[in-house]
């Protein structure tokens, strides 16, 4: 049995998304951001470690992707900052050896290195704080 959907909800949804984009300036809250984390390997040698980190994050319900383009790290950081990705994780030889990631937060810059579990806890705490703020309103 076919279902008919009235066109008004689509217009309302489009207006809602337009207002949301205008209000946030394209910088969505962490819990709403389509890509919460992008893992940036310094060179091709670290693509496998970057995928491993991304998989670990995805298994922890954190939306992550790997930017494994053949570009310099500065270019990758700049491109993903312009996309307004909340967290950028830079991985190279030191991070792979120590089982860590180098964390950059949108608008705040470099936050140093930390283990994957520590980073997961950081993201989950930030999401919980944002949702708590919403619920308090």
* Prediction pTM value: 0.84
Dist. CA 130–CA 23, nearest whole Å:
16
Q: 20-72 pLDDT, tens per residue?
A: 788 888 788 899 899 999 999 999 999 999 999 999 999 999 999 999 999 99
- Amino acid 1: pLDDT: 52
Residue-level length of the chain: 137
Examine residue 16 and state whether it is found in any structural domain, yes or no: no
Q: Please determine, for residue 6, whether its predicted confidence score (pLDDT) is greater than 70.
A: no
Examine residue 1 and state whether it is found in any structural domain, yes or no: no
Backbone angles phi, psi at 6, to 5 degrees: -70, 145
Examine residue 125 and state whether it is found in any structural domain, yes or no: yes
- Amino acid 13: pLDDT: 76
Q: 79-123 pLDDT, tens per residue?
A: 999 999 999 999 999 999 999 999 999 988 899 999 999 999 999
Examine residue 20 and state whether it is found in any structural domain, yes or no: no
Which residue shows structure tokens 């919980």?
128
Sheet holding 100-105, edge to edge: 64-66, 37-41, 87-91, 100-105, 109-115
Q: Please determine, for residue 10, whether its predicted confidence score (pLDDT) is greater than 70.
A: no
Examine residue 80 and state whether it is found in any structural domain, yes or no: yes
Tell me the HSE value of 112 on the side-chain side, using a 13 A CA sphere. 4
Examine residue 50 and state whether it is found in any structural domain, yes or no: yes
For 103, the domain range is: 37-136
Examine residue 63 and state whether it is found in any structural domain, yes or no: yes
Count of structural domains, the chain: 1
pLDDT band of residue 3 (cuts 50, 70, 90) is low
Examine residue 23 and state whether it is found in any structural domain, yes or no: no
Provide the greatest CA pair distance for the chain. Answer: 59
In this structure, what CATH number is given to the domain that contains residue 125? 3.40.50.800
């Amino acid at each position: 049995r076919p279902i008919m959907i009235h066109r008004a909800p689509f217009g309302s949804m489009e207006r809602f998304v337009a207002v949301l984009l205008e209000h946030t300036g394209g910088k969505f809250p962490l819990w709403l951001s389509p890509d919460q984390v992008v893992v940036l390997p310094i060179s091709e040698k670290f693509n496998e470690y970057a995928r491993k980190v991304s998989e670990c994050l995805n298994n922890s319900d954190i939306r992550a992707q790997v930017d494994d383009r053949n570009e310099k790290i500065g270019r990758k950081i700049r491109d993903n900052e312009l996309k307004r990705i909340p967290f950028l994780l830079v991985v190279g030889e030191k991070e792979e050896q120590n089982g860590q990631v180098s964390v950059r937060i949108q608008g705040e810059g470099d936050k140093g290195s930390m283990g994957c579990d520590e980073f997961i806890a950081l993201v989950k705490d930030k999401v919980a704080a944002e949702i708590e703020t919403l619920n308090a309103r």
